[in-house]
Amino acid sequence: MTDIRVRFAPSPTGAPHVGNIRTALFGYLWARHTGGKFILRIEDTDQAREVENGLELILESLRVLGLQWDEGPDVGGPYGPYEQSKRLPLYQEHTARLIAQGQAYYCYCTEERLARMRADQKARGEQTRYDYHCRNLSEAERAERERAGAPKVVRLAVPRGGKTTLRDFIHGDLTIENKNVDDQVLLKSDGFPTYHLAVVVDDHLMKISHVMRGDDWIPSFPKHVLLYQAFGWDIPPHGHLPNVLGPDKKKLSKRHGATSVMQFRDEGYLTEALLNFLARLGWSYDDKSEVFARDQLIDLFTLDKIEHAPAIFDLAKLDWLNGYYIRALSDDDFAARAAPFVPQTDAATLRALAPLTKERVKKLNEIPALVDFLFEEDLEYDPQTLIGKGMDAASALAALRAARATLDKHVSFDDEEKIEAELRADAEKLGMKNLQFFGALRVAVTGKTVSPPLMSSMRILGREKTLRRIARAISALEYL
């Protein structure tokens, strides 16, 4: 437990999917739990798929959750560079070593030949795979192709017999017969490595102690094990994490809604909730605990608690967790986090709104719809909305006139309890239910049938605006 080094190695092809970030989080928690290092490595050898700001999207996604790395492309470290495109000589050197050992070979097959080969295999109902054509070339045939300057790649010479096994700390032993393993391309014709070569070389040279990756990579394990064996290196413990599925039990994708951490942040989810939620996707401390702070996760996270079964991305649970963390915020913290969602207001107003809204929202982006009435000069509404169940225009008009008369007596609306008591007395005098009386007043003041507490809303709105709105509502009813 003294030299734990765990890496997160995404490709700069866009904002990381939450499943990728869950993998990063597990690595981060294991590194912090053991006092080890969390390394960020960028796997950018497939440059055709890169997006312009891909690296920045990766860095920002990790920062949103506070997953700070100890080594990486921006902070450096003893085993850099941490971008694979800057490590090409290393891959070429290791490929040459495999060729010299007879464990890899040059392949000169054209794309046209490979396409015909695959078509023929499909026609025969066979698995599509390389047919060893160039592996069986004579020295003279190889020399001829070299003289002709034929484009070439390097393929792994997979043993024809025997089995390959990986001991997975989540799934147990994974075994496959070598005859079912393809002679994978290791080095492309442009000198760039494929994922399979680069990941093994980098994990070894960067002294990675534990490899965590998604279940999708299980089919690749024999190629990686064979490479470790060919180089004579020890294989670090591997764990293939359960996939993250949508509620329909299919792999999580954009059809299920937001899929990146930054999208969730922009929708008003808190870092604490996202961190807690993602940690529970495929990891469980016990059968009842749901809420974990960052320090608790670091203290409790162990590899044996990672689950085998796919994890379901339950948006309702994320909403519940987010609401829990929102309610736990101090008023000052709530105001600071809500500010980007309500840019038209000031910090003092947001602090005043905090106790009124924290209990009523599950996401910060719900705040504007709840409090937008405060920032409108005058409201426009259908007068019929002022007439509640069991009321008519005359009774709604009577309620608003009585409320205006009571409120007009107060210089300010700070004494909410006293004002509410007087308004309740007005409702009783009119023979109305409180629900009817205050319902009409709520719509007049806020334009909504549902709003933050009415007395507090009027206090924040202010005496002048409140009375002006009630007067407009009265005028609207008088014209019915």
- Helix, strand, or coil (residue 180): helix
- Whether 328 and 309 have beta carbons less than 8 Å apart is answered as no
In the block, residue with structure tokens 């990766």: 58
Element (H, E) at 365: none
| Active-site position among 163, 179, 254, 305 | 254
Rg of the Cα trace of the chain?
Answer: 32
Task: Kindly state the DSSP code that residue 384 receives in the 8-state scheme.
Answer: G
Strands 104-107, 153-156: parallel, antiparallel or unpaired by DSSP?
antiparallel
Residue 315: both structure tokens together: 């948006």
Mark whether 389 is an active-site residue.
no
What is the C-alpha to C-alpha distance for residues 71 and 84, in angstroms, rounded to an integer? 14
The pair of three-digit structure tokens given for residue 447, joined into one six-digit string: 């334009």
Residue 460: strand, helix, or coil: helix
Q: For residue 262, which of 72, 49, 56 has the smallest C-alpha distance?
A: 56
- Of 1, 17, 26, whose CA–CA distance to 307 is shortest? 26
Give CA–CA dist 121/133, Å, rounded.
14
Residue positions annotated with a catalytic role: 254
